[in-house]
Structure 1
Amino acid sequence: MTDGPLIVQSDKTLLLEIDHPSSRDARTAIAPFAELERAPEHVHTYRITPLALWNARAAGHDAEQVVDALSTFSRYPVPQPLLIDIVDTMGRFGRLTLQNSPVHGLTMASLDRAVLEEVLRNKKIAPMLGERIDDDTVVVHPSERGRLKQMLLKVGWPAEDFAGYVDGEAHPIKLAEDGWALRDYQRMAADSFWAGGSGVVVLPCGAGKTLVGAAAMAKAEATTLILVTNTVSGRQWKRELIARTSLTEDEIGEYSGERKEIRPVTIATYQVITRKSKGEYRHLELFDSRDWGLVVYDEVHLLPAPVFRMTADLQSRRRLGLTATLVREDGREGDVFSLIGPKRYDVPWRDIEQQGWIAPADCTEVRVTMTENERLKYAVAEAEDRYKLCSTAATKIPVVKQILARHPEEPSLVIGAYLDQLDELGAALDCPVIQGSTKNKEREELFDRFRSGELRTLVVSKVANFSIDLPEATVAIQVSGTFGSRQEEAQRLGRILRPKADGRQAHFYSIVSRDTLDTDYAAHRQRFLAEQGYAYRICDADDLLGPPIPEVG
C-alpha cells in the first residue's frame, strides 16, 4: 500500500482525493482515459469507459501507459480484473483496419479472423460490405466508410482508418510571418491533427483554436469548408484568416442566412446548412459544391445531428474538429469519434493558464434565498415549470447589481437562458441586451462598443456562449443556464479567459436559488470545470462581501 491520491475500484471508478499533494499529477495522468462523473468537495469520481480508452489509444497511448498511471498513483493495489479489462478493451481498437487497395479500392482487413467473421454476420454491417477478397479482407462500399465506422464502434470493434484522404482542390494558403508566431501548443495541436489525418483538437476557450485551424489549412493548402456556430463567429474567423494568413477577402466566402458565397475558403453556419425547406435539408449540397481538401468543424461539441449524416459521406476529406470540451449533452461523443475522428490533442486548461496564455479565473457560486412568495409558487408548480421559476427568480437581480458594484471598472457580461429574465435585467441595469433576435449588424456594433470600453456591461443570451471574441471581458455573471449543461458552463467561463493586458484575474459568478433544482443543475454544470482544476467557492448572497463558505470542487 502507498500513500497515493487515487483509489481504483473494480467497477471502473476512480476516486481522486483532491487535497492530496499529488492529486494534480494524478488528474493529469488519468485525464486521457477517464471521464469525470462527480466532483464534490474532497473526492472526485472518474469512470474508465471504452470510448475514453479508445480515444487514448487513437491518440498514441497504449495499455501499458494506462496501467502504469493507475499503479503509480493508486493507494491500494489495482484490482487485477480491471487491469486485464483495460488491456483487452484497448486491444479491440485496430483489430479491424480500413485501407485503400490499388486493385479493390476501399477494403476492411482484420488481424483477427474471428473478429471479421463476427462483424460479417451482423445484419446492419453486412450490407455495407462487398465481396470477400481473402480470409482476412473484404471490400467496403466507398460511400459507407463513415457509417461502417459508426457501426463498428457500436458493436465494440472500432476500426483504425488507414484509407487516407483525397487532396481536394489545391489552393495556396500560407501563415503570415509578420509580428506573430504560433504558440508551441498550437503548433503541436496542428501537427498532431495532420499526422492523424482527421480528428479533434481540444483547447480552452481563448487559447487560439482558430489559429490551429489556420495552421491546418496552411498544411493542407487546399480548398477549405469551415462550419461555425453563427454569423458573428464566421466573421471573426474571416478577420483572423485575413490577418494571420496569405488569404485575401476575395478568397473567403460567407454562406449564411444573409449571403450565399462559395469561394476557395467558405465559412458556413450550422444554422443555415441544417435549415429545412419542404422537408429537405437543401443547403447540405454545400458539402458537394467544391472538391474540398479540408473541412473544419468549429465548436464540434455543438455539431447538429443532421450534419453527422453528411459527415459520414465526407470520410475521404480531412476533417478537423475544434472544441473546448468534447462533452456532448446528447451523448453522441461516439459519433464525433467515428465520423470526425478521435481526439488528437488535448491539454488541461490550467496548464495553458500557467503559461500565461489564458487568464487565471476565480469561480464563485452565489446562493440566494427566494422570497416566501417565490418559494410557494415553486412548491406548487408543475414539474416542467419548476426549473424556469427558480432560475428566473427576481431575487437574483439585486445580487447581480451587488456583484457589478464590486467590479465597477471591469468589463462585465451578464449571461442567462430566459429572454424575459434578460429583458428585466437589461432594464434594471440600464444596459443593452443581445439575444437571438438581435440583428447581426447590431450585435457587432454592441460587441465593438464593449471592446472599446464605451459599454461596461452587456446582458447576453446563449448566443454569446461560443465563438465570440471579447478579450476585454473580465467578469461573467451567470443567472440561468440550460439545465445541467457542462459544455455551456465551460463556454461561459471561456468568455472571460482571454489574457488581460495587465494580468488581471477573471471572475466567474453563478447565481443559484437555494433549495431548488437550480442548485442541483449547477452542481452538474460544474463537473467539467472541476475536471480542469477550477474550484468553486460557495457564498451566501447576504454575505457576498464577507468570507465565503469553504471551497467546492
Structure 2
Amino acid sequence: MQRRNVLIVQRDMTLLLDREAHYAAEARSAIGSFTELLKVLGQFEVYECTPVTVWNALALGLKCEKIIDVLHTYAKGALPAACESQIKLWASRFGRLTLLLDDQQLIMQGDEAMMQELESLNLGSSWIEAKHPNNRWIIKQEGRGFLKQELAKAGYAVQDLVGYHDGEAVHMELRQQAQSGASFHLRDYQRKAIAAFHRDRVGGSGVIVLPCGSGKTVTGIGVMASLQTATLIVTSSVTSAKQWRDELLDKTSLSPEDIGLYGGKARSVEKITIATYTILTHRNKSTDQYDHMKLFSERDWGLIIYDEVQLLPAPIFRMTAMIQATRRLGLTATLIREDGCANDVFSLVGPKLYDLSWKKAEEQSYIAKVHCTEVRVKLPAHAEEQYNTASARLRLKIAAINPNKIATVKQIMRLHPDLPTLIIGQYIEQLKEMSVELGVPLLTGSTDYEQREAIFKKFRNREISTLVVSRIANLAVDLPDAAVAIQVSGSFGSRQEEAQRIGRLLRPKRGANEAWFYTLVTEGSKETEFALKRGLFMLEQGYQYRCIHEQEVFL
C-alpha cells in the first residue's frame, strides 16, 4: 500500500493523527481496532496502543503483522523500532500461556522462556501450589481468575482452556413471531456475534460490543437460547431488569414463572434471574458484608450476563474472579472505563469477541443517523464575576448551570417542533428550573418507579413531547422515538456518559431516520475542555461535532 503519512507514532506508544490530513478518516478506521482515543490536541487526535487493545485485536483475528503494516503505511517517517518491538512483544505473549484442566488439577503451562520470565518476576506466586519441571505449574483452584487478573495487569495474556460446566438445564426457544405481534428474527450481525461467543478458542466467555439501540439485549437472549442453561443477568437498574424480562417474555418461549427479578423490592430467584449491580453491591452496615453476593451461588448458573459490562463495580470483579467455571458474557456499547480497569474486563470476563462500529450500523440503517452539535453559550455578567473568583470545582458548576442555557434550549426546541425531545443534565436544581420554565415533567433518580414509568409511557404514546431527565437517562431508558437530545450539563469528561446519552437517540426512526444531539457548553470556561474529552469516543466512531455559538441557533 502507498504511504499515507498522516500519523506520528511516538516511542511511548501514543499515536498522533493529523485530523486535517487527506487520509485522516482512512487512517482512523485502520487503527481503530488496536488503539483507543485519548484526547484531541488542536488538529491532532491522540491515540494509545496498550497490551489490552492489541490483545483484543488479536482475539478478533487481526494479525500482529497487519497491525505493524498499518502503522508503516500511515506513519510520517520511519516507525520507531521500539514501538514495533513492543507490539511484537505483546503479541508474542498472546496464547503462549494457557490454563487447562488435567486429572482435575488446574494447570498453567507455557514454553520454557515464558515460564522462566514469570518466575524471575515472581508473578502469580500466591496462586501456585507446585511447579513441575516440564513448564507446568499446578494452580490453586480458587486462583483461576485472580491469576489471570494479576498477569494481565503485568502485561501477560493467559488463554483459558479449562472450559466451563453446563449448569442447570433450561429449555427455551426463540419465537418466530414476537408475542407483541411484530415479526422477529435475529439480524445478521446478531447471529455473527452469537457465533463469535461460541468460538472454541475463547471457550464461551468474552464481550460483545454493539451500538446503543442495535439490540444488545436480543443478542444476549440469542446466546441464552443457544446454551439452554440457567442464566443470571446482572444489569444497571430495575428499569433495565424489567426491560430484559419483557424482552424474554416477548421473544422466547419462557413463561413469567421462569423469570425472577432480584432488585428493588423483588427477591425472586428462578432459573432465569435478573439482578441489579446496586443490590448485589449493597453492603450490610452492621456486618460490612455484601449480603446479596450469595446470589452468584444460589443456583447452578451455566451463564452470567453482565449488561453494560463497562460499569462493573469492584466487588463484582472480585466475585467474577471466583466463578471462572461459569460462562460469562459482557454486553456494552463501549468498553471505555474511566478508571482504567480494562485489564480486569479482559482477564475476568473475557476478550472482545465481536464489535460492530456505530457508523457501519448507521450505514445499514440499523440505527438512526445522529447530527452532533456543540453550542457555545456565554455567561451573563453576574455569573461571569462569580466564575472568576470561584474555586476550580465551583467554576465547573457555575459554567454547567449557566442560566443563559435555558433560552438556548427553547430556541433549539423551536428548530425541531413536535419531535420527541429529551433535555438531559447533571445538576438537579438546573433541571428543576428547566422543567418549570418549559412546563414539562422532570424525572430524577428519586422519582417513584411507577410514576416514572407512567410518564415514559405518555412520552412513547406522544401525549408528552418533551422530558427533562437526570442521569437516569444515561442507561436503560427505552424511549425509541426520542429524536432530539439537549445536554445541558454532564459528569466532567466522561466519554462513556456522552456515548450513552447519544445512544438514547439511536433507535431507528420513521422517515429520514435522523436524530439530533446538542451539547450546551459555556464559552471560555473549563466546561469546553471537558466537552472535548466527552466527545472522544464519538470521534473515534467517526462522528464529527459541529461547533457553533448560541447566536447561530437564533438565526
Shorter-chain TM-score range: over 0.9
* 1:171–1:264 CA contact under 8 A, matched in 2: yes
Alignment of 1:324 onto 2:333 = yes
Task: Find the partner of 1:377 among 372, 386, 397.
Answer: 386
Letter in 2 for 1:140: I
2:180 aligned partner:
none
Identity of aligned residues (%): 44
Distance in 1 between residues matched to 2:95 and 2:192, nearest whole Å: 24
Task: Find the partner of 2:184 among 158, 180, 201.
Answer: 180
**Superposed structure 1 runs of 4+ greater than 6 Å apart:** none
Distance in 2 between residues matched to 1:43 and 1:262, nearest whole Å: 51
In structure 2, stretches of 5+ residues that fail to align are 178-182
- Pair 1:3–1:334, CA change in 2 (3 A): closer
Letter in 1 for 2:336: V
* RMSD after superposition: 1.6
Task: Find the partner of 2:297 among 288, 293, 299.
Answer: 288
- Pair 1:176–1:72, CA change in 2 (3 A): farther
Moved more, 155-164 or 291-300: 155-164
1:110 aligned partner:
110
1:511 aligned partner:
520
Distance in 1 between residues matched to 2:513 and 2:158, nearest whole Å: 47
Q: Deviations over 1:259-309 (max 9, x none)?
A: 000011100011111111121110000001101000000111111121111
Letter in 1 for 2:110: S
1:393 aligned partner:
402
Report the Cα offset of residue 19 of structure 1: 4.4
Letter in 2 for 1:240: E
| Alignment of structure 1 residues 245-324 onto 2, 5 Å | 245-277=252-284, 278=286, 279-324=288-333
1:12 aligned partner:
13
2:198 aligns to what SS in structure 1?
Answer: helix
Moved more, 18-27 or 301-310: 18-27
1:452 aligned partner:
461
* 1:28–1:348 CA contact under 8 A, matched in 2: no
1:39 aligns to what SS in structure 2?
Answer: strand
1:322 aligns to what SS in structure 2?
Answer: strand
| Alignment of structure 1 residues 123-522 onto 2, 5 Å | 125-178=124-177, 179-195=183-199, 196=202, 197-277=204-284, 278=286, 279-522=288-531
Letter in 1 for 2:240: S
Letter in 2 for 1:106: L
Letter in 2 for 1:95: R
1:84 aligned partner:
85
2:44 aligned partner:
43
1:550 aligned partner:
none
Distance in 2 between residues matched to 1:240 and 1:41, nearest whole Å: 45
Report the Cα offset of residue 463 of structure 1: 0.9
Q: Normalization by structure 2: what TM-score?
A: 0.95
Report the Cα offset of residue 234 of structure 1: 0.8
Report the Cα offset of residue 68 of structure 1: 2.2
Distance in 1 between residues matched to 2:419 and 2:219, nearest whole Å: 30
* 1:396–1:479 CA contact under 8 A, matched in 2: yes
1:551 aligned partner:
none
* 1:190–1:216 CA contact under 8 A, matched in 2: yes
- Pair 1:104–1:255, CA change in 2 (3 A): closer
Report the Cα offset of residue 442 of structure 1: 1.2
* 1:95–1:157 CA contact under 8 A, matched in 2: no
Distance in 2 between residues matched to 1:106 and 1:398, nearest whole Å: 64
Letter in 2 for 1:177: Q
Report the Cα offset of residue 122 of structure 1: 5.2
Distance in 2 between residues matched to 1:65 and 1:526, nearest whole Å: 28
Report the Cα offset of residue 384 of structure 1: 2.5
Moved more, 190-199 or 2-11: 2-11
Distance in 2 between residues matched to 1:214 and 1:428, nearest whole Å: 42
Distance in 2 between residues matched to 1:459 and 1:46, nearest whole Å: 35
**How many residue pairs get matched?**
544
